[in-house]
Structure 1
Amino acid sequence: DSIFEAASRILAESSKLSHTKAINGTGIIIHTGLGRAALSKAARKAVEAVASGHSTLEIDKPSGKRGSRQEHIVQLLTDITGAESAMVVNNNAAAVLLAINTLAQNSDVIISRGQLVEIGGSFRLPDIIARAGARLVEVGTTNRTRISDYECAAKCAEPGLILRCHPSNFKITGFSEEAALDELVKLSRELSVPIVDDLGSGALINLEQYGLDHEPTVQESVQSGADIVTFSGDKLLGASQAGILVGKADYIQQCMSNPLARALRVDKLTLAALEATLHVYREGDPVNDIPVLAAIARPLDDVAAQAAKLARRINALRVEGLSAMVVQTTSETGGGSLPGQNIESRAVALKSQILSAEDLGRRFREWDPSIFGRITKDTYLLDMRTVHPNELGDIIGRARSLPG
């Protein structure tokens, strides 16, 4: 190529958007790198409506005066969870930071050693506690912490709150023990300090009916008496990236009044997607209408039929050296949710006599839209549990153009 052709190619590439649509064939339902939760049709419609012009973000329609953006979600969240009040910030780490800074600044935060988690991007809970202006008091051991450990620590500490962090991105098995939430609630009442329950993934429905282990729901935490419960909006809830706080009205109001709340607030697009998703929970059919839950609950027969259809259509292309077959595999929830639990699935395995599995993966990623799969034993796999039926045409289009 001439220097002019090379320069032209570089300029053309630089003018393209880098944040684009992707097809998720990895089998990881809540894929952090691929944007976590896919939004429901209702959420997408709501985002488009407020993005296309002005919106009622912070205005009271009856009076025409300034309002609060929190009002769009408070009633929905209290109706769904049974909490007294609610608010939303930009992610769950921000929700935890705000709660600790509001309720325990210059005081001690008592937490089990086994719950001092690190989330993605090397963000560690002890660092968040320190940034919030509180002092960390670790109790118990990594695998066993009893209520007596909390009681003993409280005698020597200046507790501002008790923090429970659900380990949603890892699992301790074997010789382990944790104090129950109702025990911690009872102790917090005796100490006259609040208890904050960080649930992380934020399940609003019981997932055991779909063959998964029990994941604590927000409603269970509220009913147990936690003063504030924090959780993510874009994980098991299936909405936009957000950190949600629900709980006692007095504590939520204190968090709303904290100057940090403005720095951590969400924008109109986030609120639109979250509000629409919460309406689905309150009035609709979340398991069918929210993509994260639909993928988890999707019958294996349906997944297998889609895999067979895709394999058949790719083989019908008669692309030189390319073959497709259906294989058994397992999907996972991902996004730091339900660690160690797999969901039976089916994938289309692609083999090329011309391209290696790594080359196949690269060719699919470079397509428009980008297609992401995974490589297992030198075979390129596309897991159908995370591929929407209307995305098959794009996959077939990429296969048709191979090996180019």
Structure 2
Amino acid sequence: MIPATARKILRKLPAVDSLLQHDALQKALANQPRKLVVESIRQILAEKRHFVLTNPESIEGLSIPTEDLIVEILARLEAISDYTLRQVVNATGIVIHTNLGRSLLPRQAVDRLQTICRTYNNLEYDLAEGRRGSRYVHAEAILCEITGAEAALVVNNNAGAVLLTLNTLAREREVIVSRGQLVEIGGSFRIPDVMRSSGAILREVGCTNRTHRRDYESAINDHTALLLKVHCSNYRIIGFTSEVSLPDLVLLGRKYNLPVMEDLGSGCFVNLAQFGLVGEPTVQEVVEAGADVVTFSGDKLLGGPQAGVILGRKDFIARCRKNPLTRALRVDKMVISALEATLRLYRDEVQVLQDVPTLRMISLPPASLEERAHHLAAGLTRSADSDAVQIEVRQSHSQVGGGSLPGQYLPTFVVALRSSQMSTQKLETSFRRHSPPIIGRIESDQYLLDVRTIQPEEYSIIEEAFAALHSNA
């Protein structure tokens, strides 16, 4: 039984058709599909009815003005009509931010994407022979040119590359891997799980912190298919440690006629030691060291689209290509065109540091970062001239991210904000709810904007958000 007070309030709620006649919603109908406008109205009315019916003690004297309903309806319309995958400003200082889309594509790759996507193309057509061809040839030549590998295959991501390789070369046979290399990557995906799904049999050797060549050798038997080395790109073990180097593992593989595979995780083509980052082997070094198969990501340190790359001996790659799983893991024209365009930039070892955004951000010198931070701080001061928020430029640190180079930091400069009118947490929330959202980080009760990952064209967005925040404080 609905109380009389509730019935009275519910009767006063306007009908959908009545609300549709309101000038603000008539304007909305000119820009939005009618069904979205109607759905927004229905959702808001349903919420009001639910509140009235479930809160009998709070509705005495309750008034729901039509103008207030219109404001809520328009806000809901904006929310349900907006894209869910949106642009954000990365002010965290984490260059390869997994939650924020990882690496930015180079301009050349974006231009190539637009060309390929708006035209027909020879994705699976051999122009020389005039017949059906293979989509896998397009990026293969440039991969082999840069790395020195005999052959290459591109699939949807590195987990897929590892899965396909193990399923092809080691199904129902043993794969020997050091216990200290049984890594877990983002989303709780683990090497043992991927291996199990591939049909290969895991044979752990050594201890968490120390594995020796004799551990591998004593585990080799008639059921051994290959020796696997996994680069620990997302964590480090320090102290009393030992692992078998790739050249030593290759020698062991040659002795017993076993292929050696290395899963690099992040595919790095540039020596990062010049920027103070150590311990990340390049793909070229691994190929030169004699690995028979190498797998890595296309969207981390390489700086391209999400993809998994398999490099190695022609016979092994040919077998992978024939595996039925390859079709399930295959990439489309967008990935291939963006990856090929990105890879071509590596032909110029100097210019690539500027052309690939990931490398450009990693290689930014402290002096340039300090200048950028002061520039941003000055813009914020101009956009909201007030003592309500303290604006300070100070030194801090950035990270490469993306499961790469754990425990290593890049010196940077940040713009640190602290408000006298709101908490630092509320400051962070306000920036995050701006359109487009701005994602920074909190340290020592200050909201930090790390200029290493802020693109030059995004400074005005931050200034606009700061001005709006100040005016609403």
TM-score class, shorter: over 0.9
1:244 maps onto 2:309 in alignment: yes
Matched residue, 2:37: none
Q: Deviations over 1:65-110 (max 9, x none)?
A: 2111111111100000000000100110100000000000010010
Bigger Cα displacement from structure 2, 278-287 vs 130-139: 278-287
Instruction: Name which of 344, 358, 373 aligns with 2:440.
Output: 373
Question: 1:4 Cα shift?
Answer: 5.5
Counterparts of 1:215 and 1:104, CA distance in 2: 27
Q: Distance in 1 between matches of 2:413 and 2:81?
A: 38
Partner Cα separation in structure 1 for residue 80 and residue 406 of structure 2: 39
Question: Among residues 245, 262, 265, which one is paired with 1:180 in the alignment?
Answer: 245
In the TM superposition, what whole-angstrom CA distance separates every residue of 1:273-306 from its partner, at most 9, and x where no partner exists?
Answer: 1000000002472111101101111111111001
Write the distance in 2 (CA, Å) between the matches of 1:41 and 1:243: 21
Alignment of 1:231-270 (within 5 A): 231-270=296-335
When the two structures are superposed, what TM-score results if normalisation uses the length of structure 2? 0.83
- Alignment of 1:388 with 2:455, yes or no, is yes
Q: 1:63 offset after TM fit, Å? A: 3.1
Instruction: Letter of the 1:362 partner, please give it.
Output: T
* Alpha-carbon distance between aligned partners in 1 of 2:253 and 2:334, rounded to the nearest angstrom: 37
Cα shift readout 1:2-36 (whole Å, capped 9, x = no counterpart) = 55643443232111001011111001000000000
29-38 or 3-12: bigger deviation = 3-12
Q: Given the alignment of the two structures, is residue 273 of structure 1 paired with residue 338 of structure 2, yes or no?
A: yes
Counterpart of 1:240, as a letter, is P
Amino acid at match of 1:185: V
Q: Which runs of 4+ in 1 moved over 4 A?
A: 1-5
1:361 and 2:428 matched: yes
The residue aligned with 2:104 is: 38
2:279 is matched with which residue?
214
Give the distance between the partners of 2:279 and 2:193, measured in 1 at CA: 29
Distance in 1 between residues matched to 2:274 and 2:75, nearest whole Å = 52
SS in structure 1 at match of 2:339: helix
SS in 1 for 2:331: coil
Residue 96 of structure 1 corresponds to which residue in structure 2? 162
Q: 1:328 aligns with which of 395, 402, 424?
A: 395
- 2: CA distance, partners of 1:175 / 1:103: 34
Give, in angstroms, the shift of residue 327 of structure 1: 1.1
Contact 1:160/1:194, CA 8 A, preserved across alignment:
yes
Q: What is the identity, as a one-letter code, of the residue corresponding to 1:189?
A: R
- Please list the CA deviations of residues 208-240 of structure 1 after superposition, one character each: whole Å capped at 9, or x if unmatched: 111111311111111111110000001100000
User: Structure 1 residues 310 and 5 mapped into 2: Cα distance closer, same or farther (>3 Å)?
Assistant: closer
After superposition, the C-alpha distances for 1:368-395 in whole angstroms (9 at most, x for unaligned) are 2211100001110000111111211111
Residue pairs, 1:106-121, within 5 angstroms: 106-121=172-187
Query: What is the CA-CA distance between 1:59 and the residue it aligns to?
Result: 1.4
Q: Matched residues in 1 for 2:438 and 2:333: separation?
A: 30
Indicate if the aligned counterparts of 1:323 and 1:350 stay in contact, CA closer than 8 A: yes
Match of 2:360 in 1: 294
Q: Which residue of 1 aligns with 2:4?
A: none
Q: Is the contact made by 1:333 and 1:342 (CA closer than 8 Å) also made in structure 2?
A: yes
Moved more, 387-396 or 94-103: 387-396
Structure 2 match to 1:72: 138
- Alignment partner of 2:417 out of 325, 350, 369: 350
Q: Residue 326 of structure 1 contacts residue 346 of structure 1 at CA under 8 Å; is this kept in 2?
A: yes
Name the amino acid aligned to 2:279.
H
Contact 2:384 2:466 (8 Å CA) reproduced: no
Gaps of 5+ in 2: 1-63
CA distance in 1, matches of 2:81, 2:383: 33
Displacement of 1:43: 0.7
Structure 1 match to 2:43:
none
Q: Does the CA-based 8 Å contact 2:213-2:244 persist in structure 1? A: yes
Quote the Cα distance in structure 1 between the aligned partners of 2:146 and 2:445. Answer: 46
Mapped pair 1:227 → 2:286 = no
Match in the other structure for 1:202: 267
Query: Which of the residues 366, 374, 380 maps onto 1:308?
Result: 374
Unaligned runs of at least 5 residues, structure 1: none
Percent identity, please. 47
Q: Which of the numbers 461, 464, 467 marks the counterpart of 1:397?
A: 464
SS at match of 2:128: coil
Deviation at residue 56 of structure 1 after TM alignment? 2.2
Considering Cα pairs closer than 8 Å and 6+ residues apart, tell me whether 1 or 2 has the greater RCO.
1
For residues 269 and 363 of structure 1, what CA distance do their matches in structure 2 show?
A: 35
Tell me the amino acid that sits aligned with residue 174 of structure 1. Answer: G
Pair 1:146 & 2:208 matched: no
Query: How far apart are 1:397 and its partner, in Å?
Result: 0.9
Q: Which position in structure 2 is the counterpart of 1:126?
A: 192
For 1:177, give the aligned amino acid: S
Aligned residues: 403
In structure 2, what residue type is equivalent to 1:83? A
SS at match of 2:126: coil
The yes-or-no answer on 1:282 pairing with 2:337 is no
**Mapped partners of 2:422, 2:85: distance in 1:** 27
CA distance in 2, matches of 1:9, 1:22: 20
1:317 and 2:383 matched: yes
Measured after TM superposition, the shift of residue 191 of structure 1 is 2.1
Amino acid at match of 1:325: E
Coordinate RMSD, CA, aligned: 1.3
Any idea what the Cα deviations from partners look like across 1:312-349, whole Å, max 9, x if unmatched? 12112334412311011000100000111000000001
Alpha-carbon distance in 1 for matches of 2:69, 2:383: 37
Q: CA deviation at 1:182?
A: 1.1
